[in-house]
Copies of this chain bind each other. A is one copy, B any other.
Amino acid sequence: MLRFTTAGESHGPGLISILEGVPAGLPLRAEDVDRELRRRQQGYGRGRRMQIEQDAIELLSGVRAGQALGSPIAMLIRNRDWRSWQEIMDPAPRDGDPAARRRAVTRPRPGHADFVGMLKYDRQDARDILERASARETTARVAAGAICRRLLEEIGVSIGSHLVHLGGIDAETPAELPSDLNAASDASPLRTLDSAAERQMVELIDRTKRAGDTLGGICEVVCRGLPLGLGSHVSWDRKLDGRLAGALMSIPAVKGVEIGMGFGAARVPGSAVHDELGADSQRPRAGHVARATNRAGGLEGGMTSGEPLMVRVAMKPISTLMKPLGTIDVITGEPAAATAERSDVTAVPAMGVIAEAMVAFVMADAVVEKFGGDSLHELQRNMDGYLSQVAARTDW
Contact = CB atoms under 8 A, between A and B. Distances in A.
Nearest to A373: B372
Contact of A369 (B1, B24, B166, B326): B1
A257 B301 CA distance: 17
A262 B69 CA distance: 30
A317 interface: yes
A246 to B, nearest CB: 3
A194 to B, nearest CB: 16
A208 to B, nearest CB: 6
Q: Chain A: interface residue count, which band?
A: 35 or more
B394 A5 contact: no
How many copies of this protein are present in the complex? 4
Contacts of A111: 270, 273-275, 296, 300
A215 interface: yes
A289 interface: yes
B301 A261 contact: no
B7 A266 contact: no
A394 B109 CA distance: 16
Contacts of A217: 266
A244 B256 CA distance: 11
A30 B239 CA distance: 28
A214 interface: yes
A247 to B, nearest CB: 7
Nearest to A13: B60
A351 to B, nearest CB: 10
Contact of A236 (B6, B60, B70, B270): B6
A368 B92 CA distance: 25
Contacts of A296: 111, 255
A341 interface: no
Interface string A220-248: 00000000110011111101011111111
Contacts of A25: 121-123
A297 interface: yes
A326 B291 CA distance: 10
Given A214-B269, A257-B245, A265-B255, A122 B24 contact: yes
Contacts of A235: 5-6, 20, 71-72
A333 to B, nearest CB: 2
B30 A5 contact: no
Most chain-B CB neighbours within 10 Å: which of A93, A123, A235, A318?
A235
B250 A239 contact: yes
8 contacts: A110-B276, A112-B300, A213-B270, A242-B247, A246-B246, A256-B266, A270-B316, A332-B396
Given A65-B92, A115-B289, A214-B269, 14 more contacts: A13-B61, A16-B61, A64-B90, A65-B90, A66-B91, A67-B99, A70-B128, A118-B393, A218-B263, A244-B249, A257-B258, A277-B327, A372-B372, A378-B385
